[in-house]
Amino acid sequence: MEWRAKPLITLTAACFFAVLILLLIFPFDGGFSTPNYQSQKKQSFVAPKTNIWADLTESEASDIYDFLYKDLTYLNLTKHPKSNRDNFIFIVEALRPNKTDAVSYLYDAGPAPRRWAKAAVAQHIHNEPYMVYYMVGPLPLSPESRTVPLEYVFNSGRNYVKNPVQDFVAISEFGLTIAENISDITQDLLGAVANRENPDDPLGLICWPRGSRIERGGFSLWFQLYKPGLGSGARTLLPQGIYAKVNASDANIDGWTVGQFYYNGVIYDTEEDFRAALSEPDFVRTPPNVDGPWSDTEDFESSPPGRELPPPVSVQPYGPRYRLDREQQYVSWFGFEFYITTAQATGLALFDIRFKGERVMYELGLQEAMAHYAGDDPMQGGLEFMDSFFGMGKTMFELVPGYDCPAYADYLDTRFHQAHKTHELPNSICVFEHTPDYLLSRHTAQYSVTASRNTYLIVRAVSTVGNYDYTFDYVFYMDGTLEIKVRASGFIFAAFYARNSNKNENEYGHRIHDALASSMHDHVLNFKADLDVAGPTNDMVRLALEPITTTYPWDKPEVKDRNTMHLVEHAVTEEAGLDWPKNSGEFYLVYSADQKNAWGERKGYRITSGTGMGSTPHLTILNSTTLGDSARWAEHDIWILQRKDTEPRSADPLNYFAPHDPLIDFTKMANHESLKHGEADSPYDGDLVVYFNLGAHHVPHSGDVPNTLQHTSASSVMFVPHNFNDRDPSRESVQGVRLQLKGTKNSGGFAGETSINGDLRSRLDRRVGAQKLHDIKYFGSTYEQGMKLPLEAFEPDLERYRSSEHAVTDLSYNGSAAGVWMKGAE
């Protein structure tokens, strides 16, 4: 079935980037409703507490906008900026409460923490553009409410970042001007020219910038020519081999100048030098990068054997086994309980995660998603993205039922508030239980075989940032394990392949099409896990498996020394960054400082690299020239820090604009403070926090064309109970069967059953009500006869759904945290 959407709007070249901004800030209003094919009673399930991390309601956001216009009159704020000199409110959203204020409400029956909001304001200070953070509250707004600078969460000592790019419309027009000024060159070398009237012209050219903040405070831009793609979204697969450098150090774009040009490994100092070189007899032309069916993500024509039949699907005939409070976004499932929330920059996050009534984590969520490239051309050679800058929450677009998630999943809507409007993102989170293709456990004994089904709960969202779709899974297992998994798919950001033996293209990737090369890059996604293992007072240890040579008295005299191994515990006594150990030779454990299980062992959780493509990585590049101090969290796999209200995050979206002097400098957080608690001269109370990285070292190959596949780009980290329970708690919840094997010996029977005539007998078969022999016994329920499911349980009718057009970030600064102004926006 075909997914129907409104046709794309034709844009004029002058407003191309501006309208992309407009679309992102004023996205689609439509959506779809998920059919409920299951005839079940509406669950009357209510969360035990209010979701104190929930985002603002539309009414709250509207009140905050009105309040800011009155409280910040000196800024002369405007709702619809018409000039890059206008001051305006870019975003408002909930300011999450400090943990110190929340724990009393959550665990000690104290009052709910006062609710506050934060706002990002684009304003001019001394005639220069800045992005400035404020906090507004308490809510609901009253005479005691106020607007104050939001400073305490930033270790830079300031709440603002200078915006180095004042006018994105002008930048897009500047790029088009570059292309137009060398139209004779582009026609000669690429067979195409820029089309200002229609930048989406598949035969035309567009011009993209890559910005770099340099350490001395300047701003440098390299522009590269691209083809827009034949409607497939494959723009990042269509780079062309012409690059132009722009001196953008002047605060006024009118003072920008075009300097060098780069083509086929040669730098030309001026446009005239480049043009003159074309007529030289030894000038070498490279083939252009031409679009075609090779970039299509769909193949509607091929029909290998088997494609005429649909694949197997998962169904849920009796309805969900989890319980969901939609209003509070609270979930309960087989001992797990938690709250769901989102943020504009970082998307999906979970709070107050408990298992069997005991505390496990206070907070679990994304902090930043970074991609750092390497290459031998001016674009790839310095390319990096910090995706929170573009909004991982703002780009959580609707999920496709029956494809992104099973047809039976529950779908939740989210919203964000930007540019004086509330934007609804329908069906952007799904919750469902799933049975994978492997058992949770099994065992074959001499007289019986036991098989336990494996089911887990998934909370899923997808963030589409430019060319990549990131699927985020929070997975809950019946034994108390949590897994955080990320998969990436979409178009790679590829490089132009020049076929030049003097270049080093194969040093950074592979040739993957006629004039296209892959570009190696690291994906490093940083997450926060505020563990409260059986309470807030925890210790971190490295439990090492170490070889040892020792002597045992029972070995003598035959063996004098025995080479073996043993466990050695190393306490982590100060803040540190750790990498996954060689040969998996250490267990990273977070223990409760005072709670033990029935056997006297400390209750704990193990942190381990989970399922996916090998161990999760950290950044390959040492002391990145591009990143500066904006992403030092990427330099190790996991970090253990003191938890502080003044350090709620490892990064901020506006770090992208100040990499050498970021709002949040992670090195100031991970500064080797003591993790010893209970000492008279230390304020540290044992409440630690873990930051960990997911991602991949991605060297794209021909199989990444047209799209990277999710099973080759997955990584995860798991938090596994380690003596947290007295035994495996999944035994209480799991569904399974034990089959008694035929034999002559009277052993291996079921607990509580006696032998009859020498045989183990007696089981009333619940499905047919007939007396049978002793051979089968189920734990949990089984499916009954006579089940009927409608077609939508297998293949949702997507013809019923209508989705309006929405924008996806184009990986320049459009629609990002920069707070751009919209030309002619209403």
Cα distance between residue 675 and residue 623, in whole Å: 27
Q: Is the peptide bond before 320 cis (omega within 30 degrees of 0)?
A: no
Nearest to 205 by CA among 285, 267, 291, 276: 291
> Do residues 137 and 145 make contact, with C-beta atoms less than 8 angstroms apart?
yes
Cα distance between residue 756 and residue 763, in whole Å: 12
What's the angle, vertex CA 661, arms to CA 84 and CA 619, rounded to 5?
A: 110
Tokens in use for 336? 């797990």
Q: Which amino acid is at 440?
A: L
Segment 699-703 long-range contacts (CB within 8 Å, at least 24 positions apart): 699/509, 699/510, 699/518, 699/520, 700/492, 700/494, 700/509, 700/510, 700/512, 700/518, 700/519, 700/520, 701/510, 701/512, 701/518, 702/510, 702/512
Q: Can 468 be counted among the known catalytic residues?
A: yes
Question: Which is the catalytic residue, given 167, 387, 410, 665?
Answer: 387
DSSP 405: B
Question: Which is the catalytic residue, given 65, 160, 262, 468?
Answer: 468
Tokens in use for 439? 């058992």
| Helix/strand/coil (H/E/C) assignment for every residue in 148-191 | EECCCCCCCCCCEEECCCCCHHHHHHHHHHHHHHCHHHHHHHHC
| Helix/strand/coil (H/E/C) assignment for every residue in 70-81 | HHCHHHCCCCCC
Cα distance between residue 770 and residue 591, in whole Å: 51
> Do residues 465 and 369 make contact, with C-beta atoms less than 8 angstroms apart?
yes
> Do residues 351 and 530 make contact, with C-beta atoms less than 8 angstroms apart?
no
| Helix/strand/coil (H/E/C) assignment for every residue in 547-607 | EEEECCHHHCCCCCCEEEEEEEEEECCECEEECCCHHHCEEEEEEEEEEECCCCCEEEEEE
Cα distance between residue 272 and residue 530, in whole Å: 58
Tokens in use for 766? 């619940």
Cα distance between residue 522 and residue 524, in whole Å: 6
Angle between helices 183-190 and 168-181 (to 10 degrees): 70
Cα distance between residue 93 and residue 78, in whole Å: 19
Q: Which amino acid is at 128?
A: E
CA torsion angle 161 162 163 166 (round to 10): 150
Nearest to 715 by CA among 740, 733, 698: 698
**CB atoms closer than 10 angstroms to residue 174:** 20
Cα distance between residue 667 and residue 403, in whole Å: 41
Cα distance between residue 379 and residue 383, in whole Å: 6
Tokens in use for 61? 């956001």
Rounded CA Rg of the chain: 30
Q: Is the peptide bond before 557 cis (omega within 30 degrees of 0)?
A: yes
Cα distance between residue 40 and residue 802, in whole Å: 26
Q: Can 661 be counted among the known catalytic residues?
A: no
Residue holding tokens 């690291």? 522
Nearest to 76 by CA among 87, 67, 66: 87
Tokens in use for 631? 């992403």
Catalytic residues: 387, 468
